[in-house]
Structure 1
Amino acid sequence: MSRYRSFFLPVLILIILKIIFLIPVFDSLEYKAQDSLFHMRGPRQISEDIVIIAIDDESFSALNTTWPFPRDYHAKLIENLSEAGAKLIIFDIEFTENSRYPESDKLLANAAAASNNVVFAGKVLHGKAHGDPDQLLTPIGDIVANGSPWGIVNMNSDSDNAIRKYSLFEEMDNHKYYSIGVAGLANSRLYQSDWADHLHSEDAHLTVANHKIPIYKHNKAIINYYGPASSFPHISYASVIDDSTMAMPGYQGIEFDEFYSIRDSGILQDKIVLIGATIDELHDKFPTPFGGEWTPGVEIHANFIEMVQNGDYLYAVNPWLYMLLEFVALLLLWFAFRKLKPQLSVLALLILFALQYLLAYYLFERQSYLIPIVQPVLALLFIYVASLICHYLDSLKEKRFIRQAFQQYMAPELVSELLKNPKKLSYGGSLQEISVLFSDIRSFTTYSENHSPEETVNILKEYLTAMVNVIVENQGILDKFVGDEIMALFGTPLPLPNHALNACKVALQMREKMTELQEKWRSEGKESFEIGIGVNTGSAVVGNLGSEQIFDYTAIGDTINLGARLESINKEYDTPKHIIISEFTYEHVKELVEVRYLDEVK
């Protein structure tokens, strides 16, 4: 694959991943993977600054009433919480409509005004999805008129309905309406201020009472949850309003007056108190990263406030920086996978999967960064599969080249074996023990001068075809033709234990085939010729010794030179069979062939 294609592949993978993660199921997989980081870290120690006043089963039993509770109950709650020393009181209960009892509404508003530390709940209803206008639900007029601050309680869930981000504010008619968590921390009506100057982009912060809250995607903060449901201390709503002035129908005439013991214990002194429903019937529970039992909305607000007070924020990595790093990583991995064998690539892939998760956990636990987990894993998988495909295509190309290069000069079984290990043909040479055979036509120059080019080519073609067939049938390879000379190798590119014997067999069979051809040519009235053969055995440098552009599988060295010399001196000694082998070849075949000592040749 060209260099430009190598750069293009990671870009293509990143584009595909961006498209894939538009599908909700992949988003959900990413969320679940990131949720596992919370499980792996486990619940954390929380401060003692926050207490939940729970509207629970006990409260309904003790008060023996239905929802919504009378608002004078809430007024009593504010009075008792103030008496117990609560620093801040936040209602995760909406009082956006007047009740049937105006006096009860006034009691609630007046109690809040007297306490001067109560934050109420409102909501922005977005109707754009249904073509309806947005609607702002504010606390009732008596509460607003008395100057009590309020904030919105909008919960923005992810595609799997879990709450992982906290809505810092909602926008409507060019106004920003802040959440009860933000309003509580500032203890002022931020929606009337000019704090919008602090809100710009994903990299901006919302500054609240000396706290710089990192903003995620325009108006959210990632919640760094401290634990599953019930991580914060709970006190039953009924217990707080149970004093000497409050009758508890559900207690059947028994006076517990639980509030006084709560007050005297100091458990509410200087605490941020959040009031909200914790029972399933009021449908104010949501899934969170910790899974298991759904978490009441009031506890989600508590997690946010605890996080801000501790400065324990979670940050999302800059998406452009992350994409750049991912591109560089994919590019490096692409080149690495292309170099590795497929078997090693699988092991490397599994190790990278584990390292990716460990990196995500390290950044989450130690650096407070939340990075994608599934997306890079899929990217790794894609780059691995792409490398496998390229390995396969390269293998097909390599095998096709080998088959085309050798099938005419090598036995089919040798070609098949070579295809199983193409690396034997990689560029460069290695020292191997082989046998080499040279064959040459005697006085062929004179022969060609006495015959027409067509006659010369035809008889040469017939001769070379017959000789090559003999070589291939005996597991040799044709190295090259040099004019009318033949050079054949035995014992390479695949090992051949009896390469010297095979070379000798080929020499004898070539002589037999030559005799047949001579008889045939004489019968056809053609002039024949003689050949000389030389065989040598020894070490030679063997391999692809051509250029990087031109393949040339051959052998070089003294062993080859001596083989050529033995062939050429046949005419000097006028050997009967016109075959000369070296003493090195003889040492390998002396028990199997008959020879005659000829001379010492250098």
Structure 2
Amino acid sequence: MKLAKNILVGLIIGAVLSCFYIFHTFYMIENNFTDRLTSFTDEKEVDYRIKILAIDEASLSEIGKWPWSRDVLAETAEKIAKAGATAVWTDVLYTEKSELPKEDSEWNRIAKQYPNVYLSAYFKFPPRQQSFQAEELLWPIYEPAPEQVGHINTFPDRDQIVRQVTLGVKDEEKGIVPAISVRLANRLLDEKKQITWDEQGNFYAGDKKLSTGNRNNIYFQYFSSAQKTDVKSFEVFSIKDVINGKIDPSYFTDSVVLIGPYATGLSDQYRTPTSRTLEMFGVEIHANIIQSMLNQDFYQTSSKTVGVVLIFLISIVGYLLFVALRPKWGGLLSLIMIACYVGISLIVFLKFSILLPFIYVVMGIITSCVLSIVTQYVRELGERKRVTGIFGRYVSKSVVDEILAAKNEIAVGGIRKEVTLMFVDIRGFTPLSEKMEPEEVVGILNEYLDLGAQAIFKYEGTIDKFIGDGIMAIFGAPIEYEDHAIRAANAALFMKKEADRLAQQINDKYQSSVAFGIGLNTGPAVIGNIGSSERMDYTAIGDTVNLAARLESNAKPNQILMSENTYQIIQQHFVCTPLQPIKVKGKAEPVVVYELEAERVEVQ
């Protein structure tokens, strides 16, 4: 039953976190982890054949403000293409005619003459559309072969970070238009490893089908950082050095050359996983996509089914483990489980290029741990209340609290300590019971015993046991008090005073006299748990106990007898009357006794 309840709690935790996972509730936190996992830029090699010609601040200062005459980029692209570059691409849209027809003629000639020159297309999508359907395709106005054109659309994620590339977009007239990065990567890939696609929009890396999203999108990795702290990165050259002849175009032989904006004022920058503060230029993002394609370094998130199963499994197993452990060990186990899961996530990513859900599983571990601690606390609190309720019928509340606060487990055994023992008996109860019905006898007995218990608890004594119509109580154990004899004397006087009121009521109703007889003795006794490991009683053993019992048996109704030991301790605080020594069982000599009369303050 308990196991089923714990499994149910684990299922509830898993169900709640699975809902969060399905609806991407903690999207930002989740991506924070996956971005770190996928951005080991310092350890990744970049292909030396991928080069960037930057339209940077220095070029703008030397050549002039943007936009430049189309002749400038046309001549540069031709020089590099003619010198033997594998591919040359300009990250500029030429979808409208120039004011100077000569410029368009030049570009048109170059596009036709050099199959290694690539141009850009761009799809327009309606805002907030549900389906991935473009409303317009902006195609270059020149006449290159279709194989020389690729789309340059960038689709940042919800947090405006670029993590995915859309491999291709379908157009009614042109068919599948691949990303420009696909076109350029294929120029460097072996034929058997090239990125291909079919009419249905499925993409393949060689003979392996790529797992893409509903926009033909797939996650790629970054090999350079927007922070520019990498030792290894793509070679970036200022385009002015090629234009003015400082760099020979033959340097770019057998290379894929990307020409694009590399200045802040040109508004072609995006946030990437490599930095939360610095943005990366669009042309460099394309270079990273190409490198990812060369390495086949695509990755994907695990399916929702796998994610949900993981969350449920961790939540249920975690909760079952945590509730079986003490809180401090549960906390340590949760840290170990999180560390292991981070390691597993890393291995799965590096080996299979799959991102497992992270924050939701970690939350499952933490939630299970915290909830198990809360459950144990509530359970212990309930048990504490139960024990307090039961034990509180025998000792005062303060004694219960101190015993429960003790760190050591209760064990069989005892210790020798100085205590005061009290024995109480009801005088005249047996004759009275003969005149009453059994139910009435029990009622009166309970009233007297309740009165005795109240008096003992009032002065923080411990009820050892009820003996028929009597009580045995200990003062000074289990909680030690230096004034235990004084406490016992006060409890006895309180009992005697309240018993007089109760006796009057009984006498009026049954014409019988009932009163307490009390015996007190102070001295050493063995106090502790006596019995077996399965069943034990907390009690006192020794001659001190025996003498207290003998004094009680010799006490007359409404009389409190005490030993010499008790008298010597309390005589300054109470009025005590010496009596004739009495002979008691177990003692060779008569025992000196005193009668406790009242507190001294009461007679002044």
Which of the five TM-score ranges fits, normalised by the shorter chain? 0.7 to 0.9
Mapping for residues 520-599 of structure 1, pairs under 5 Å:
520=504, 524=508, 525-528=511-514, 537-541=525-529, 555-556=536-537, 592=569, 598-599=584-585
- What's the counterpart of residue 396 of structure 2? 411
- What's the counterpart of residue 574 of structure 2? none
Matched, 1:10 2:13: yes
Give 3-state SS (helix, strand or coil) of 1:94's partner: coil
Structure 1 pair 404–302 and aligned structure 2 pair: CA distance change class (3 A): same
CA distance in 2, matches of 1:294, 1:530: 92
- What's the counterpart of residue 156 of structure 1? 155
Contact (CA 8 Å) 2:395, 2:463: kept in 1 or not? yes
The one-letter code matched in structure 2 to 1:460 is L
CA distance in 2, matches of 1:19, 1:345: 28
- What's the counterpart of residue 202 of structure 1? none
Structure 1 residue 478: Cα displacement:
3.7
> Which piece of structure 1 moves more, 211-220 or 93-102?
211-220
Give 3-state SS (helix, strand or coil) of 1:287's partner: strand
Give 3-state SS (helix, strand or coil) of 1:79's partner: helix
- What's the counterpart of residue 294 of structure 1? 279
Question: Mind listing any 5+ residue stretches in structure 1 that lack a counterpart?
Answer: 200-205, 243-255, 547-553
Contact (CA 8 Å) 2:10, 2:317: kept in 1 or not? no
Structure 1 pair 418–61 and aligned structure 2 pair: CA distance change class (3 A): same
- What's the counterpart of residue 87 of structure 1? 86
Contact (CA 8 Å) 2:459, 2:491: kept in 1 or not? no
- What's the counterpart of residue 250 of structure 1? none
Contact (CA 8 Å) 2:220, 2:299: kept in 1 or not? yes
CA distance in 2, matches of 1:269, 1:543: 96
Question: Mind listing any 5+ residue stretches in structure 2 that lack a counterpart?
Answer: 190-194, 571-577, 588-604
- What's the counterpart of residue 134 of structure 1? 134
Structure 1 residue 270: Cα displacement:
1.5
Give 3-state SS (helix, strand or coil) of 2:123's partner: strand
Contact (CA 8 Å) 2:170, 2:201: kept in 1 or not? no
Matched, 1:282 2:266: yes
CA distance in 2, matches of 1:112, 1:395: 80
The one-letter code matched in structure 2 to 1:258 is K
CA distance in 2, matches of 1:258, 1:126: 42
Cα deviation, 1:23-56, whole Å, max 9, x if unaligned, reads xxx4334334444556786474423121012222
Contact (CA 8 Å) 2:164, 2:218: kept in 1 or not? yes
Cα deviation, 1:516-557, whole Å, max 9, x if unaligned, reads 5797479643133676869894254379999xxxxxxx9428
Structure 1 pair 316–130 and aligned structure 2 pair: CA distance change class (3 A): closer
Cα deviation, 1:246-304, whole Å, max 9, x if unaligned, reads xxxxxxxxxx5335x342xxx31221222221122332111112224321111111111
CA distance in 2, matches of 1:278, 1:522: 106
- What's the counterpart of residue 56 of structure 2? 56
CA distance in 2, matches of 1:12, 1:363: 24
TM (norm. structure 2) is 0.72
- What's the counterpart of residue 247 of structure 1? none
Contact (CA 8 Å) 2:299, 2:353: kept in 1 or not? yes
Structure 1 residue 159: Cα displacement:
2.0
- What's the counterpart of residue 257 of structure 1? 245
Contact (CA 8 Å) 1:500, 1:589: kept in 2 or not? no
Mapping for residues 420-569 of structure 1, pairs under 5 Å:
421=405, 431-433=413-415, 439=424, 441=426, 447-453=432-438, 455-478=440-463, 481=466, 484-486=469-471, 488=473, 495-496=479-480, 501=485, 505=489, 512=496, 516=500, 520=504, 524=508, 525-528=511-514, 537-541=525-529, 555-556=536-537
Give 3-state SS (helix, strand or coil) of 1:80's partner: helix
TM (norm. structure 1) is 0.72
Bigger proportion of residues as strand:
2
The one-letter code matched in structure 2 to 1:153 is I
Cα deviation, 1:355-401, whole Å, max 9, x if unaligned, reads 77677667667875545554455555544554565456446545554
Structure 1 residue 150: Cα displacement:
1.8
- What's the counterpart of residue 226 of structure 1? 223
Structure 1 pair 42–483 and aligned structure 2 pair: CA distance change class (3 A): farther
Give 3-state SS (helix, strand or coil) of 2:67's partner: coil
- What's the counterpart of residue 117 of structure 2? 118
Contact (CA 8 Å) 2:78, 2:110: kept in 1 or not? yes
Contact (CA 8 Å) 1:41, 1:365: kept in 2 or not? no
- What's the counterpart of residue 237 of structure 2? 235
Contact (CA 8 Å) 1:55, 1:278: kept in 2 or not? yes
Give 3-state SS (helix, strand or coil) of 2:153's partner: coil
The one-letter code matched in structure 1 to 2:512 is K
The one-letter code matched in structure 1 to 2:124 is L
The one-letter code matched in structure 1 to 2:165 is Y
Give 3-state SS (helix, strand or coil) of 1:331's partner: helix
Contact (CA 8 Å) 1:49, 1:272: kept in 2 or not? yes
The CA RMSD measured in Å over matched residues stands at 5.0
Contact (CA 8 Å) 1:53, 1:273: kept in 2 or not? yes
Structure 1 pair 326–130 and aligned structure 2 pair: CA distance change class (3 A): closer
CA distance in 2, matches of 1:4, 1:101: 76
The one-letter code matched in structure 1 to 2:239 is Y
Structure 1 pair 75–210 and aligned structure 2 pair: CA distance change class (3 A): farther
> Which piece of structure 1 moves more, 558-567 or 452-461?
558-567
> Which piece of structure 1 moves more, 120-129 or 215-224?
215-224
The one-letter code matched in structure 1 to 2:49 is D
CA distance in 1, matches of 2:476, 2:214: 69
Contact (CA 8 Å) 2:81, 2:114: kept in 1 or not? yes
Mapping for residues 257-406 of structure 1, pairs under 5 Å:
257-259=245-247, 261-263=248-250, 267-291=251-275, 292-335=277-320, 338=323, 370-376=355-361, 378-379=363-364, 382-383=367-368, 386-387=371-372, 390=375, 393-394=378-379, 397-398=382-383, 400-402=385-387, 404-406=389-391
Structure 1 pair 408–109 and aligned structure 2 pair: CA distance change class (3 A): same
Contact (CA 8 Å) 2:14, 2:311: kept in 1 or not? no
Give 3-state SS (helix, strand or coil) of 1:309's partner: helix
Cα deviation, 1:303-330, whole Å, max 9, x if unaligned, reads 1111221233444344432333333333
Structure 1 pair 484–74 and aligned structure 2 pair: CA distance change class (3 A): same
Structure 1 pair 55–514 and aligned structure 2 pair: CA distance change class (3 A): closer
Contact (CA 8 Å) 2:475, 2:485: kept in 1 or not? no
The one-letter code matched in structure 1 to 2:537 is I
CA distance in 2, matches of 1:38, 1:342: 35
Aligned pairs, how many? 553
Pick the aligned partner of 1:208 from 205, 208, 228.
205
Structure 1 residue 136: Cα displacement:
3.8
CA distance in 1, matches of 2:472, 2:238: 100
Give 3-state SS (helix, strand or coil) of 2:512's partner: coil
Contact (CA 8 Å) 2:432, 2:512: kept in 1 or not? no
Mapping for residues 126-205 of structure 1, pairs under 5 Å:
126-127=125-126, 129=128, 134-140=134-140, 142-144=142-144, 146-171=145-170, 176-187=176-187, 195=198, 199=202
CA distance in 1, matches of 2:387, 2:41: 56
Structure 1 residue 118: Cα displacement:
3.0
Structure 1 pair 317–530 and aligned structure 2 pair: CA distance change class (3 A): same
The one-letter code matched in structure 1 to 2:217 is K
CA distance in 1, matches of 2:170, 2:468: 89
Contact (CA 8 Å) 1:411, 1:475: kept in 2 or not? yes
